[in-house]
Amino acid sequence: MLVAVVLGFGVGIAVGQQGDAPAGMETAQGRVYEVGPDVVAPELHPMVLPIKNEDKCERESDDEIALSLIVDANGKPRDVRVINPVGTPLERLAMRIVEEDAFEPGTLNGAAVQVRLLAHVNIEGCYATKKDASGNSTEVFRLRAQPKQTFGEEKRQEYIAPKLPDQSDLPTPPELPKPPEPDTLGLERIGHGVSAPVPLNTVAAKYSEEARRKEITGVCLISMIVDTQGKPQNPRVIRSLGYGLDEKALEAVRKYHFKPAMKGKVPVPVMITVEVNFRLY
């Protein structure tokens, strides 16, 4: 599981309550709350996925997958599970979509807290048959529209990813990228005695001319390793905006500097995710 350190958002600390406390449960990662009068639900920052309709559609699909998840105090989803799973590829796709979501954290009395959510992901697409380099036929699934995500038992909060002016030239790959697990890279995991890196210097990302001309806005997610010197290593885009903004985001995060993660008194390398926001004012 990739630990996210989201720059630009404060990390709140929940304090004890007197009297009746909001509904919640204790977990190994701390108390998790239910949305209620005192607990504000997390707010989704929608991602935009590539829509490609060049394949001949042989079988259409319009399914809704129900999932449960916890949004942590950094706005990162964890413990994403399908409710009443059957084991279909669309269930795995829905999990990947939710796992890559980014949220404004839920809050209790203004402090960021972990919140449990129910999610419904509507996936509209089609199945087509393609041949690989060896001539073997493979069935592939293509999205026909942006996935529609609703949250809450009554689906009261509805979020639909915004349409871009032209999705045909998005450089995002067809599949959601999956970062390598930290354990496979010899890295430490944040938590359980390992502190998160602390940003000491960040650099604002610049707009590309194309993105400014087309008035593209959004959030680019960058996964990277922070080494024992607090320097970014191997940054890679895991949520793309295209139009030259990915390159501008990478250019900016390479100039970041952190107080390194610490295990006791020893600096250790960790993998983190940072948000690079592009807004036109």
Q: What is the pLDDT of residue 153?
A: 56
150 and 254 in a single domain? The answer is no
Within a domain: 19: no
Contact 108, 38 (CB under 8 A): yes
Tell me, yes or no, whether 175 lies in a domain.
no
More confident residue, 174 or 120: 120
**Res 197 pLDDT > 70:** yes
Shared-domain flag, residues 258 and 218? yes
Q: pLDDT of 134-163, one tens digit each?
A: 777 777 777 888 888 888 754 433 444 444
pLDDT confidence tier of residue 266, bands split at 50, 70 and 90: very high
Q: What is the pLDDT of residue 174?
A: 39
Question: Within 13 Å, how many C-alpha atoms sit on residue 110's CB side?
Answer: 0
pLDDT at residue 273 above 80?
Answer: yes
- Write down the pLDDT at residue 257: 94
Q: Is residue 2 part of a domain?
A: no
Average pLDDT over residues 112-127: 87
Q: What is the pLDDT of residue 23?
A: 60
Q: What long-range pairs does 177-183 form, CB within 8 A, spacing at least 24?
A: 177/236, 177/237, 177/238, 178/96, 179/2, 179/223, 179/236, 179/238, 179/271, 179/273, 181/1, 181/2, 182/2, 182/3, 182/270, 182/271
Whether the predicted pLDDT of 255 surpasses 50: yes
User: Would you place residue 251 in the very low, low, confident or very high pLDDT band (cuts 50, 70, 90)?
Assistant: very high
pLDDT digits (tens, 9 = 90+) for 44-82: 887 777 776 655 777 787 888 888 899 998 888 988 888
Is 44 domain-assigned? yes
Q: Is 57 helix (H, G, I), strand (E, B) or coil?
A: coil
φ, ψ of residue 92 to 5 degrees: the values are -65, -40
Burial of 204 (C-beta count, 10 Å sphere; 0-12/13-18/19+): exposed
* Region 11-37 average pLDDT: 59
- pLDDT for residue 12: 26
Shared domain check, 85 and 38:
yes
User: What is the structure's pLDDT at 249?
Assistant: 93
CATH code (residue 246): 3.30.2420.10
Does 215 map to a domain?
A: yes
Identify the domain boundary among 163, 195, 224.
163
Are residues 152 and 201 located together in one domain of the fold? no
Query: Is it the case that residue 212 has pLDDT exceeding 50?
Result: yes
Considering 163, 192, 212, which residue would you say is the last residue of a domain?
A: 163
3-state helix vs strand vs coil in the chain, percent to 5: 10, 40, 45
Q: Is the pLDDT of residue 21 over 70?
A: no
This model's pTM is above 0.75:
no
Task: Out of 163, 194, 225, pick the residue that ends a domain.
Answer: 163
Q: Is residue 209 part of a domain?
A: yes
Q: How many domains does the chain have?
A: 2
Which residue in this structure is represented by tokens 């279909």? 88
Q: Which residues constitute the domain of residue 193?
A: 182-278
- Tell me if 11 is assigned to some domain: no
Q: Are residues 222 and 102 in the same domain?
A: no
